[in-house]
Amino acid sequence: MLPKRFKPAGTFELIRLGGDHDGGYLVDPKSIQESSSLLALGIGRNWSFEEDFIEKKRVKVHAYDYSIGTSYWIKHFFKRLLSILIGRFTAPFKAIKLYLEFKEFFKSHATLFLEKIGTAPGCDTNLNQAMERFDDAPIFLKVDIEGYEYQILDEIVACSDRLSGLVIEFHLVSKNKEKIEKFLTEIKLELIHIHPNNNRLDDEGDPKAIELSFSKNPKKIGNRFMHPHELDQDNVPRKEAVDLRFSEI
């Protein structure tokens, strides 16, 4: 069961950005229109959220992901090449196509920094420095950094008055509930949506990962939080959907 504070205080106007299933998020359309920049932490092989965002509003996009340099794409190609052995004959061609799309997007529409964000040892750039690379605020922030989000929560809170909106995925939720609750208490944005990642559940049947959406000036359309939202999609279609359960205290 998730803490009561994890539950949004009603229903808000939302749209979906990003591809089907994993990689898509529900956001406040006002937070897009009020933004001057998009800061995306974590890309991997899916930049559909960033593509959809700039279709809604053409802004400067900075993306950070230290793990997707040249060696990453070489390894990805050879893994797909080996998959020919199990009958996936088109896999290498799809890998090349994806790489070319990646190069085109980050050449024409966004700037990619192969840097690790945070203040812990081994990090290249902190969040404030990343924001200073933009000329304008407010900034929309996307955080999907596979567990490293806990290292930058204080930084996000400190910078939250410069944000129009935020989507963030929290991992290992059952071990970090207190950290997430503290973050929810301190951030200067309204929690407008929660989505459970149905890929893995903990021993109590709660999701091990959740996606939270925030906005500075959301439009509230109802006093009762409804889940699932009509735009929600399971991260893993072949697995069962997750029912969210919240404590009453």
Does residue 106 form part of some domain?
Answer: no
> Scanning the structure block, which residue is given the tokens 């735009």?
231
Does residue 175 form part of some domain?
Answer: yes
Does residue 25 form part of some domain?
Answer: yes
pLDDT given for residue 207 in this prediction: 95
Does residue 81 form part of some domain?
Answer: no
Question: Phi and psi at residue 4, in whole multiples of 5°?
Answer: -60, -35
Does residue 239 form part of some domain?
Answer: yes
One-letter amino acid at 6 equals F
From first to last of its 249 residues, what are the pLDDT tens digits of the chain? Answer: 899 999 999 999 999 999 999 989 999 999 999 999 999 999 999 999 999 999 999 999 999 999 999 999 999 999 999 999 999 999 999 999 999 999 999 999 999 999 999 888 889 999 999 999 998 889 999 999 988 999 999 999 999 999 999 999 999 999 999 999 999 999 999 999 999 999 998 888 899 999 999 999 999 999 999 999 999 999 999 999 998 999 987
Does residue 108 form part of some domain?
Answer: no
pLDDT given for residue 118 in this prediction: 87
Range of the domain at 200: 1-56+137-249
Does residue 21 form part of some domain?
Answer: yes
The total domain count for the chain is 1
Q: What pTM was estimated for this model as a whole?
A: 0.95
Does residue 73 form part of some domain?
Answer: no
